[in-house]
Structure 1
Amino acid sequence: MASMDELEPPSGTSDLESQELLSDAVLVGFVLADIVGLRHYSGVIRGREMVGLVREPLNPYDPNAIKVLNTRTVQVGHIRRGSAAALAPLIDSHLVTVEAIVPKPPSKNRNPYRLPCQIHLFARPDAIPIVRAAVSEGGLELIEYGDHQFGLSEAVIIQEESSKKSKSGKGSKSVDEIFALVRKVDEGKFAPLEPPKDIILSELFEHQKEGLGWLVGRENSSDLPPFWEARNGTFVNVLTNHETSERPETLKGGIFADDMGLGKTLTLLSLIAIDKCGGFPSSSSSSLQEEHERLRSSSSRKSGKKTTAPRKRRKLDGGSVTQTEDALRPKTTLVVCPPSVFTSWITQLEEHTMPGSLKVYLYHGDRTQDPAVLLQHDIVMTTYATLSAEFNDSNSPMKEIEWYRVILDEAHLIKNSAAKQTKAVIALKSERRWAVTGTPIQNSSFDLFSLMAFLKFQPFAIKSYWQNLIERPLYQRKKSGIARLQALIGTISLRRTKYAEDGSGGVVGLPRKTIVTCYVNLSAEELEFYDHIESEAQNTLREYLDTDTLLRNYSTVLHILLRLRQICNDMELCPSDIQSFLPPSALEDVSQNPELLKKLASLVDEGDDFDCPVCLSPPQRIVITCCAHIFCQACILKTLKQVNACCPICRHSLSKTDLFVAPQTKSFNDDMSKAHSRNRPLSSKVTTLLKLLLADKEQNPSTKSVIFSQFRKMLILLQEPLKEAGFVVLQLDGSMSTKKRTEVIKKFTASGPGTPMILLASLKAAGAGINLAAASRVYLFEPWWNPAVEEQAMDRVHRIGQREEVKVVRMIVKDSIEERILMLQEKKKSLASGAFGKKSTNDQQRMRIEDLRIMMHI
């Protein structure tokens, strides 16, 4: 079942379905099952402990396999085959989520080859009868609230309820008390740090020096990770009760979440430069080095671990540094980012570092496969798409090298835990790991799970732990949910905003940024067309609601919403009859309807809206299923390798004969030249935009503007009227190479007579990682479902280097779907701000069917 909650291209159907379930799930009961195969795995459980359950549908020995992991993500064994056969279909169909715990085993007569486990099942109330029947048919006993054995349950949720009622005062802390004790453990520990002057030529702002001190301090800390304690020579995770004699590795990294435009890239280059020079430059911050060594000594005494003695000391810039055995290995940093962000890193290197001081290799396009060549460089830059493409290549140097440090720039791009690019970055080998993003939460708190998995932050890197401890209380609107999320984020992240709530300059004193909404009234002709299409769409959606098939028809609903949004921009974007596009049935065989096949393909070609639901990238070699859903060929073929393969969107059974390659569509430029030859009237929104731009020009002829749109076709439609109005125009979109994008940005940045004054920019291609501070006006031509994407776009202009007040204009058609999108944005903003300790709200559930009714006026 595919969730319609997101109302945007799915970011991984398994994640969406998990969140839909969590919003209404209740504890059904628990079953007893054995963990077997203990002697084949190194994972150990010594007492009462929460464990993670992970489905292995591709296990060659058992398609129902469920592996068991301890807190440190080390495999303990598998759930016994018979029990797994009963539980796996429930998990795969997203009817249940599971929480498992090993009760404290008896010390005597313990079977060394198996371990008893309580598996708690959570389901929506309407699914409970199905769950009961499936468990019974599988030969398992479901122990529910009314059973006399239920008191034996050791689930966290039951233990917490019991402790609230009994208040026995045994001294054990509740989960919420444990979270509260770890909040912001790094606060105040690390002083500001100067970068080495022989590499970093520019003077850092004070907040950048403080950020550098925080980065260096975390990388060189020897503290126990959050939620771990040293007890009598052993180490215990206080959340899960996992106990081990082996000291857990320090979490050397975190989330660098400074607001967009605060100079995170330069701060990271300074971090890399410090390693290039050999360590802490005491001449610039001797107090930091002393404080760092004091903390190392203190944490070592607490944990009982001896401090590693320095190997040698040498001079650097007139000061001494400590060099351990770590200094003897290559210190190559891998930077992973979208192609558009290459430009930003290269520009920062050119502007702020000594030429030739840092060696950089672009692992993109034509690239070496020799690890030794890569390790000769200080920085290796690659893209998420490149890592994804090489994920299954055993010869890829990306998988072979143990990097000194991995930096994920625009780290929110791995929000889908099921995507190949996410799995690829998680699999990278490195002790130091940084997730860098100004918008770590874009859609929901579940976006953070992938970051936890990348950072190896145990136990939250295991999905079942994340769901049990964070997601469930959030989605059930418990106050503890946002408190836990804030505490967790506070332990591993640094976030500063560049302006105060009133829009005034914050840590760097930037000019004010104002956001205004410009409401547009459609013409009589446009309004008639919009109302007609909306009426047809409402009838279609009512049919889905009446037949309870709305969630299955995810792709069709997306297409309907897309067309309504396009009409708000320009009728030229949308066909006159929506029924000519929509299939009468969501499961119509498109092989029997070649015209529908062609139109589905054109949707992908028309804008930035559609990504492959599996890999979260624009589809490569577009394949359309018989149930009218769009995927990359490689992604859907991989799905077909699974047992009982089905469509990831609607769960319709699939085989290779149900897949169809999309035909090629005409280029936009051909279409647009024909449109212009008809001298068609300008749309109401385009007319309004021209009036605003001309008013800006009259007030200040040197004012530069960036116009963002999600639709590449719209960008082309805008070119001609803007040129006719006397503007010099450039365009930046996802079809351009990195070199071409760089050239466009340089031309736009130039000043003087005849230089471009307007940049037409694709929201996805230009919405992150580039510097457009040459402009002072931003026009968001239409709203996007995700407010974080819009914030990324507008802050390409409002950033360090901006000298003028920035004005952002959001263009919204009155009494349309665009106004309702703004309502959705407010929901998402409230959760994102709450995670970082700002004003929170109880309205943290994702958009559900009732919200869709409101959006469509039904």
Structure 2
Amino acid sequence: MASSSRRVGGEDDDEPYLLGFIVAKAVGLRHYDGGRTITSRENVGLVREPLNRYDRNAIRVDNSRGVKAGHIDAPTAAVLAPLLDGHHLAAVHGIVPKPTSKNPFRLPCQVHLFTRPAAAALVGAALAAAGLDLIHVDHPEFALSESAIVQEQTKKSQGDVDKLFSHVGKEGKARVEPMEAPGDVVVSELFEHQKEALGWLVHREESCDLPPFWEEDKDGGFKNVLTTQKTNERPLPLKGGIFADDMGLGKTLTLLSLIGRSKARNVGGKKARGAKRRKIEGAEESRTTLVVCPPSVFSSWVTQLEEHTKAGSFKMYLYHGERTREKKELLKHDIVITTYSTLGQEFEQEGSPVMDIEWFRVILDEAHVIKNSAARQTKAVIALNAERRWVVTGTPIQNSSLDLYPLMAFLRFQPFSIKSYWQSLIQCPLERKNNETGLARLQSLLGAISLRRTKETESGSTSLVSIPPKTVFACYIELSAEEREYYDQMELEGKKKLQEFGDRDSILRNYSTVLYFILRLRQLCNDIALCPLDMKSWLPGSSLEDVSKNPELLKKLASLVDDGDDFECPICLSPPAKTVITSCRHIYCQTCIMKILKSSSSRCPICRHSLCKEDLFIAPEIKHPDEDLSANIDRPLSSKVQALLKQLRRSQNEDPLSKSVVFSQFRKMLILLEGPLKAAGFNILRLDGSMTAKKRSEVIQQFGHVGPGAPTVLLASLKAAGAGVNLTAASTVYLFDPWWNPGVEEQAMDRVHRIGQTKEVKVVRLIVKDSIEDRMLELQEKKRKLITGAFGKKKGGKEYKEIRVEELQMMMGMKMKSV
């Protein structure tokens, strides 16, 4: 049955493809607001609810606006739920066809099933055993499917879909006029590019245009030409979008101008037809803007407010730490600022004012933080109630185009706010061997809802703003004979381990061991002192070893998180909070893995090993007081440290007053650098993630001082100084070690190269020749091309994917192969 199915996922044998569809029933629609408004041919989201107290197999039905509408009937859910939980089904997508039932609260639902080839037979057998008819792609009734996903199966229809994308956003796209900041609130003169951005933001908020892909029918109704959904009510305008200007172009001041413009009660003229105005407990309409950002960006908003607006013109409230629980109190302010983690804590918490309020506007600053749609904080921001929604980030794509899906879900941009639509119409075409279709669609989509300008023009010869240019170059370093011997021996051991593991599943089961090798190789490029000299002590033991019987192994695994800034929980893609290590040696946030345990699957997401609470271990605290490194003072300097000192001396000779920032992701490396730099006569400061927000602010302020005795070098963690920090006092940046993610490095550079910089900026990347660092640059370049291609002109078709097993092999210096 599955063997004759035509695949959506392209030529890759591991890609999910459309197996077919079954006809289920959407029931209980009378009990939910979303169920009362489902229309003919409406695309619906299908979401597992393993914690549903009435039915552990429950599959929720959400309408096309993401509002709960009902559930899939219990008999069908009982068959599908184990297939979803066991990852045999990669995705499910629902559409309510033209109703044949007279009961408006019990409607047929075509459930389209996506699976990987290896699981197709199992899925087919499970459906057959339950008596469910699978309408596979060669079945005569397959043409009855009303899903746009199915329309993609034929080349003719695919051409039609591509044509729809090519026209999106072009109709009536007149040039938006630049706009001055409101003079009664903002005292600073905007740059021309900021005036243009303000005009675009206001136009997006106040336009009455139909959302992309919607048209008015001849009979007065409305139709989505992409999904074929019809409705008699005019769809609400998409009030918002993605403000993706390059870092350092003054987005915060532009946004303050936007907020200032809407302070007056009747700003914006007549409301859009069909738009809802709301009253807050009988009071006048709220015009409060909620800003969500990382804690490090708090100071940026406060500073910009103090520098660029009239004193007292804005009332601001920091909803963080000790905070009010009164909605009325929050709504007295023009701006309420909170963090992603605060929203995550209050998600689904009864009585949370920030989650209950219907905000006038929500701004997600540094919005790439929500790149994982499964993370609690991502779900929280998507659930926020707001009339106007803005995504603000200079790096909207960090790893892959999948980073954009949560942004679409937050913006409520239909149908791309439904994951199966995003995967079928954007993600799968991008991941095919020839991805020109996917890239063209992504460009059209982003062009319709986003604004992105970079500091340099396309030619690179001129600058968008009057900032001196930035030059980036690599300084390649040869390891000493002793360093090379250590490095080559470690890399050889790593390759042997990977060859022992063999196939994909085995590598994933031993994922932490591979990461351990990669971490040590990266540290060896910096300084042997970062690693134990006894090579055997570096290596985790047997691949079958259970951490519950080996405290030392627990410490080794905990060091993966502690040693570097860029380790992320595989579930939420954020640095682990309360790190937990499983008996099968995988590392997660405590919150993330506990949620998995509460689901019916109770398996490790990486290796599928069965887990219970007794299999989880809190990572031991790794103590590393600064004085522990005193023994390294008299040892020879590493090749990379010597190269850095040579570069710093050259900069100082050229300009004795020049300041430099040295970025590293290894806190221990920053501490190791202090001794040699002080001995060489540099006045240094250190900024890392172990410091309090107050201490960080003091360090940044000290670094800005000029004159005799002032600091000349700042040793900074990328994570501590990568966002919301202004370091324009410096003019040279040294990236001591490369990151997986080019976007994070760009953020670090642009702490220095931004509005307010008066000198030319030089960025030096210190790269060890013939090492893992060379290979990391290759991986970065792949990701950078995707980012450029998504917002730029159409370029060649290469395959762009997230870090997968093949890329782990690449990092270890092995030829990439299909596994």
Task: Tell me if TM exceeds 0.5.
Answer: yes
1:132 maps to 124
2:206 maps to 220
The one-letter code of the counterpart of 2:224 is N
Query: Retained in 2: the 8 A contact 1:505–1:511?
Result: no
Comparing 686-695 with 71-80, which one deviates more in the overlay?
Answer: 71-80
1:260 maps to 247
Aligned CA distance change for structure 1 residues 797 and 640 (closer, same or farther; 3 Å) = same
The one-letter code of the counterpart of 1:470 is I
1:633 maps to 590
Q: SS where residue 660 of structure 1 aligns?
A: strand
Query: Retained in 1: the 8 A contact 2:198–2:255?
Result: yes
Query: Retained in 2: the 8 A contact 1:555–1:629?
Result: yes
Aligned CA distance change for structure 1 residues 755 and 21 (closer, same or farther; 3 Å) = farther
1:100 and 1:617 mapped to 2: Cα distance? 28
Q: What pairs with 1:659-738 in structure 2 (closer than 5 Å)?
A: 659-676=616-633, 679-738=634-693
Q: What pairs with 1:328-407 in structure 2 (closer than 5 Å)?
A: 328-407=284-363
1:764 and 1:98 mapped to 2: Cα distance? 34
Q: How many residues in Structure 1 have an aligned counterpart in Structure 2?
A: 801
Query: Retained in 2: the 8 A contact 1:706–1:760?
Result: yes
Alpha-carbon offset, residue 774 of structure 1: 1.4
2:241 and 2:354 mapped to 1: Cα distance? 21
2:378 and 2:96 mapped to 1: Cα distance? 33
Q: SS where residue 803 of structure 1 aligns?
A: coil
* Mapped pair 1:65 → 2:58: yes
* Identity over aligned pairs, percent: 61
Alpha-carbon offset, residue 386 of structure 1: 1.7
2:817 maps to none
Aligned CA distance change for structure 1 residues 586 and 378 (closer, same or farther; 3 Å) = farther
Aligned CA distance change for structure 1 residues 222 and 546 (closer, same or farther; 3 Å) = closer
2:415 maps to 459
1:79 maps to 72
Comparing 444-453 with 612-621, which one deviates more in the overlay?
Answer: 612-621
Aligned CA distance change for structure 1 residues 371 and 74 (closer, same or farther; 3 Å) = closer
2:276 and 2:557 mapped to 1: Cα distance? 62
Q: What pairs with 1:542-621 in structure 2 (closer than 5 Å)?
A: 542-546=499-503, 548-577=505-534, 579-621=536-578
Q: In structure 1, which of residues 797, 806, 814 is the aligned counterpart of residue 752 of structure 2?
A: 797
Q: SS where residue 401 of structure 2 aligns?
A: coil
2:251 and 2:558 mapped to 1: Cα distance? 39
Alpha-carbon offset, residue 472 of structure 1: 1.7
* Mapped pair 1:92 → 2:85: yes
1:856 maps to 812
Q: SS where residue 699 of structure 2 aligns?
A: helix
Deviations 1:313-361 (A, max 9, x none): xxxxxxxxxxxx9993232221111111122112212221122221222
Q: SS where residue 759 of structure 1 aligns?
A: strand
Q: SS where residue 120 of structure 1 aligns?
A: strand
Alpha-carbon offset, residue 627 of structure 1: 1.3
Q: SS where residue 254 of structure 2 aligns?
A: helix
Q: In structure 1, which of residues 180, 193, 196 is the aligned counterpart of residue 166 of structure 2?
A: 180
Alpha-carbon offset, residue 440 of structure 1: 0.4
Q: What pairs with 1:7-156 in structure 2 (closer than 5 Å)?
A: 24-41=15-32, 42-43=34-35, 44-102=37-95, 104-105=97-98, 110=102, 112=104, 114-156=106-148
2:265 and 2:237 mapped to 1: Cα distance? 21
Query: Retained in 2: the 8 A contact 1:101–1:154?
Result: no
Q: SS where residue 551 of structure 1 aligns?
A: helix
Comparing 222-231 with 484-493, which one deviates more in the overlay?
Answer: 222-231
The one-letter code of the counterpart of 2:257 is S
Alpha-carbon offset, residue 136 of structure 1: 2.5
1:307 and 1:549 mapped to 2: Cα distance? 54
The one-letter code of the counterpart of 2:166 is A
Deviations 1:258-304 (A, max 9, x none): 11111001001111111234565xxxxxxxx8xx87xx8xxx7xxxx
Alpha-carbon offset, residue 129 of structure 1: 2.5
Alpha-carbon offset, residue 223 of structure 1: 2.0
1:655 and 1:60 mapped to 2: Cα distance? 20
1:573 and 1:712 mapped to 2: Cα distance? 10
Q: In structure 1, which of residues 269, 293, 307 is the aligned counterpart of residue 256 of structure 2?
A: 269
Query: Retained in 2: the 8 A contact 1:184–1:490?
Result: no
Q: In structure 2, which of residues 178, 185, 188 is the aligned counterpart of residue 202 of structure 1?
A: 188
1:313 maps to none
1:23 and 1:436 mapped to 2: Cα distance? 34
Gaps of 5+ in 2: 1-8, 815-819
Deviations 1:495-531 (A, max 9, x none): 1111124544422132111110110111111100011
Alpha-carbon offset, residue 710 of structure 1: 0.8
Q: In structure 2, which of residues 485, 490, 496 is the aligned counterpart of residue 539 of structure 1?
A: 496
Q: SS where residue 765 of structure 1 aligns?
A: helix
The one-letter code of the counterpart of 2:425 is L
TM-score by length of 1: 0.88
Query: Retained in 2: the 8 A contact 1:21–1:124?
Result: no
Structure with the larger RCO, 1 or 2 (CA within 8 Å, 6+ apart): 1
1:725 and 1:497 mapped to 2: Cα distance? 38
Q: SS where residue 588 of structure 1 aligns?
A: coil
1:270 and 1:245 mapped to 2: Cα distance? 37
2:97 and 2:707 mapped to 1: Cα distance? 75
1:456 and 1:480 mapped to 2: Cα distance? 24
1:438 maps to 394
Query: Retained in 1: the 8 A contact 2:580–2:588?
Result: yes
1:213 and 1:249 mapped to 2: Cα distance? 21
1:825 maps to 780
2:71 and 2:508 mapped to 1: Cα distance? 33
TM-score by length of 2: 0.92
* Mapped pair 1:757 → 2:712: yes
Q: SS where residue 446 of structure 1 aligns?
A: helix
2:324 and 2:573 mapped to 1: Cα distance? 26
Alpha-carbon offset, residue 239 of structure 1: 1.9
Gaps of 5+ in 1: 1-17, 168-172, 281-288, 310-324
The one-letter code of the counterpart of 1:206 is E
Deviations 1:52-109 (A, max 9, x none): 22222222222222222332223443222222222222223333334545474465x6
Q: In structure 2, which of residues 352, 370, 380 is the aligned counterpart of residue 424 of structure 1?
A: 380
Q: What pairs with 1:741-756 in structure 2 (closer than 5 Å)?
A: 741-756=696-711
2:4 maps to none
Alpha-carbon offset, residue 605 of structure 1: 2.3
Q: SS where residue 640 of structure 1 aligns?
A: helix
Aligned CA distance change for structure 1 residues 747 and 489 (closer, same or farther; 3 Å) = same
1:769 maps to 724
Query: Retained in 2: the 8 A contact 1:71–1:242?
Result: no
The one-letter code of the counterpart of 1:603 is L
Aligned CA distance change for structure 1 residues 478 and 23 (closer, same or farther; 3 Å) = farther
Q: SS where residue 215 of structure 1 aligns?
A: helix
Comparing 258-267 with 370-379, which one deviates more in the overlay?
Answer: 370-379
Aligned CA distance change for structure 1 residues 19 and 177 (closer, same or farther; 3 Å) = closer
1:504 and 1:187 mapped to 2: Cα distance? 28
Q: SS where residue 23 of structure 2 aligns?
A: strand
Alpha-carbon offset, residue 839 of structure 1: 4.4
Query: Retained in 2: the 8 A contact 1:22–1:472?
Result: no
* Mapped pair 1:649 → 2:599: no
Alpha-carbon offset, residue 586 of structure 1: 4.4
Q: In structure 2, which of residues 456, 459, 474 is the aligned counterpart of residue 517 of structure 1?
A: 474
1:633 and 1:28 mapped to 2: Cα distance? 36
Aligned CA distance change for structure 1 residues 613 and 124 (closer, same or farther; 3 Å) = closer
Alpha-carbon offset, residue 478 of structure 1: 4.2
1:545 and 1:414 mapped to 2: Cα distance? 34
Alpha-carbon offset, residue 579 of structure 1: 4.4
What's the Cα RMSD here? 2.9
Q: SS where residue 328 of structure 1 aligns?
A: coil
